[in-house]
Structure 1
Amino acid sequence: MDDHPQQMPLFIFGVIADIQYADIDDGYNYSQTRRRYYRSSLQLLRNAQESWSESAVKPEFIIQLGDIIDGFNKGSGASDRALDTVLRELSSGAAEVHHVWGNHEFYNFSRSALLRSRLNSSLHTDGSPSRARAGSDIYAYHFSPFPGFTFVVLDAYDVSLLGREETSEQYSEAMNLIKQYNNNEDLNCPPESEGLQQRFTMFNGGFSKAQLDWLDSVLTSADEKRERVTIVSHLPIHPYSTDPICLAWNFDELLAIIRSHSSVVCFMAGHDHDGGYHRDRVTGVHHLTLEGVIETPPDGNAFGTVSVYEDRMVLKGNGRITDRVFVFPGCQSDADQGAK
């Protein structure tokens, strides 16, 4: 699979998504079709941490792709306690953690509270991150773990009904947008049973023009420096990498920006607990949607370890996560990879 077995990676990082821990009995998803293992998710996180800490070459950082605790915690007043429990587990290793915000973060906490919390990695990371200046409450930043490589964390609920005060202009704008497509009384119910418009639900969101303009400028700089950029977000943005019901509202605008730059090599997301993968035919960019811990049985696993080389990233999956090789666009044998 990896044709450079003797080559040492430049750096390694871990990935995990949708832990959704809660100290409650097992339940089911919104449509009552998939079992959710709320307590067991903590043990699966522990398995990941033990694997990362025991490996010969340890990850320099972990990307937690959002939904770290479940929304059920809010109703029982357990949000802070649940978060403490999970963060204690995550901090047991030496690697720094970059947190992405998903819908369940906003079920539990306000945006202002999250910005002040330990889930604001732009405050706590050692990687000298650069925050999105274009909006004071946009949670987007980038960091460079190794020369020539940049990671960008995006805020997929910048435009959203979640985490916004109902009296705010942002809330009104998000409501006007979703109401163009979804007339259901329950806005968590998709407007149609199939097709891309399913994405216009309350548990999704999108990216503001301010955030997109900021990303555009970050990628322009990366293009000039010939850097490799990996973008992470809770919501997937490629229709072929996820069930359409999990897509970001304005995925097409973000895809267009990525397609106008040469530096992006990979986009990683969570949210769709079944996971997914697609390689963009236009750009060669890899779109990975990571399987969720919350719907992984207690005897399984759902985490990945990524080794980064000059011309590729190699994902070693555990449990439900599939092994993959992400050859960077333009590198040798790139054409052989094809689009999946």
Structure 2
Amino acid sequence: MEAVPRVAFGVIADIQFADADDGHDFGGSRRRYYRHSLRLLRDAVRAWAAESPPIDFVLQLGDSIDGLNARRGEAEGALRQVLEALGRLPVPVHHAWGNHEFYNFSRARLAQSGLCSRPAGGAAGPPDGLCQAYHCSPAARLRLVVLDAYDLSVLGRDPDSPRYQESLRLLREKNTNEDLNSPADHLPIHPDASDRVCLAWNYEAALSVIHSHRCVVCVLAGHLHDGGYCLDSHGVHHLTLEGVIETPPESNAFGTIYVYEDKMILKGRGRIADRVMQF
């Protein structure tokens, strides 16, 4: 192993904090530790801040607060606590937007919040100003692309907007679930890194774009709280992180990824295992 990585960054997903007693998932069978998730985030921040050499940035892969906050009128306060915890880091934090962000906030609100993390000089995605997609270069010969997996969605959109109507047409065409609020069919983009319940509908198109560029080495995602991994037929690593929200208080679920010339090494904590991903 080289003495010093080209870049190192923290990764965490599905914090889903709410100042609420423990609950359960959509199906009622999996325990969710709403209040403890903030403590686990703070533990992760302390670990990242103590790393030597220091990390360069952190990826927060979506669902930072739980949709429960919207029903309790506590969305702003919950988000403030999560951002305060991450704000103790001396490095940038790149945020993805997940479904729970949109249960709590409109896109317009998110675009004005601390979860809008496009850096100065970072190239933007679609021009409506309400999309989180962007790319930037945190180190030489390394490009980070943050995708907005809910860009085409009724979540967070004004019902009168063309984007909402386009999304509604797609939803009616694709959603075969009796319960329209069922989580089935939507966010990792490779079926072997997902349980196929959490798979993006247009994953084949997304993979086609990724495979057309030989420079892509890894796709990171959240949303599937059990996590997942595969190395696809084009040599691209697909890593889905275990979710903090379903992590018992005595454990954790975060990691640090070290990028070298020929590989990425994941040092996992708690539920997240160590992994070497060769290029």
Partner of 2:32: 36
* Correspondence for 1:175 among 168, 171, 183: 168
Contact kept, 8 Å, 2:111 with 2:129, in 1: the verdict is no
Separation (CA, whole Å) in 2 of partners of 1:117 and 1:276: 30
Separation (CA, whole Å) in 2 of partners of 1:146 and 1:177: 38
> 1:279 deviation in Å?
0.5
What SS does the aligned partner of 1:67 have?
A: coil
Partner of 1:146: 139
Partner of 1:130: 123
> 1:135 deviation in Å?
4.2
Letter in 2 for 1:158: D
Q: Deviations over 1:119-152 (max 9, x none)?
A: 1001xx36x3111245432221011111100000
Partner of 1:27: 23
What TM-score, normalized to structure 2? 0.96
* Correspondence for 2:84 among 83, 88, 99: 88
Letter in 2 for 1:264: V
Separation (CA, whole Å) in 1 of partners of 2:135 and 2:177: 37
> 1:182 deviation in Å?
2.6
What TM-score, normalized to structure 1? 0.79
What SS does the aligned partner of 2:261 have?
A: coil
Aligned pairs for 1:35-74 within 5 A = 35-74=31-70
RMSD, aligned CA: 1.3
What SS does the aligned partner of 2:168 have?
A: helix
Aligned pairs for 1:204-223 within 5 A = 204=186
Q: Deviations over 1:158-193 (max 9, x none)?
A: 001201122222222222212223354531226xxx
Partner of 1:9: 5
Letter in 2 for 1:308: V
Separation (CA, whole Å) in 2 of partners of 1:118 and 1:171: 24
Structure whose residues are more often helix by fraction: 1
What SS does the aligned partner of 1:119 have?
A: coil
What SS does the aligned partner of 1:262 have?
A: coil
Separation (CA, whole Å) in 2 of partners of 1:145 and 1:129: 10
Q: Deviations over 1:28-54 (max 9, x none)?
A: 000011100000001110111111111
Separation (CA, whole Å) in 2 of partners of 1:37 and 1:104: 15
Separation (CA, whole Å) in 2 of partners of 1:71 and 1:87: 16
Q: Which ranges of structure 2 fall in alignment gaps of 5 or more residues?
A: none
Separation (CA, whole Å) in 2 of partners of 1:299 and 1:168: 45
Separation (CA, whole Å) in 1 of partners of 2:229 and 2:178: 33
Matched, 1:299 2:247: no
Q: Deviations over 1:229-272 (max 9, x none)?
A: xxxxxx21000001111111211111000111111000000000
* Correspondence for 2:152 among 159, 163, 172: 159
Separation (CA, whole Å) in 2 of partners of 1:137 and 1:52: 30
Partner of 1:269: 221
Partner of 2:278: 327
Partner of 2:96: 100
What SS does the aligned partner of 1:15 have?
A: strand
Letter in 2 for 1:254: A
Letter in 1 for 2:84: R
Partner of 2:71: 75
Stretches of 4+ aligned residues off by more than 3 angstroms: 133-136
Pick closer, same or farther for the CA change 1:142–1:181 going to 2, 3 Å.
Answer: closer
* Correspondence for 1:309 among 237, 248, 260: 260
What SS does the aligned partner of 1:245 have?
A: coil
Aligned pairs for 1:224-303 within 5 A = 235-281=187-233, 283-303=234-254
Q: Deviations over 1:259-290 (max 9, x none)?
A: 11111000000000000000011x10000000
Partner of 1:214: none
What SS does the aligned partner of 1:121 have?
A: coil
Q: Which ranges of structure 1 fall in alignment gaps of 5 or more residues?
A: 191-197, 205-234, 329-340
Q: Deviations over 1:268-325 (max 9, x none)?
A: 00000000000011x1000000000000000001001011111111000000001111
Contact kept, 8 Å, 2:13 with 2:63, in 1: the verdict is yes
Contact kept, 8 Å, 2:12 with 2:59, in 1: the verdict is yes
Identity in percent = 53
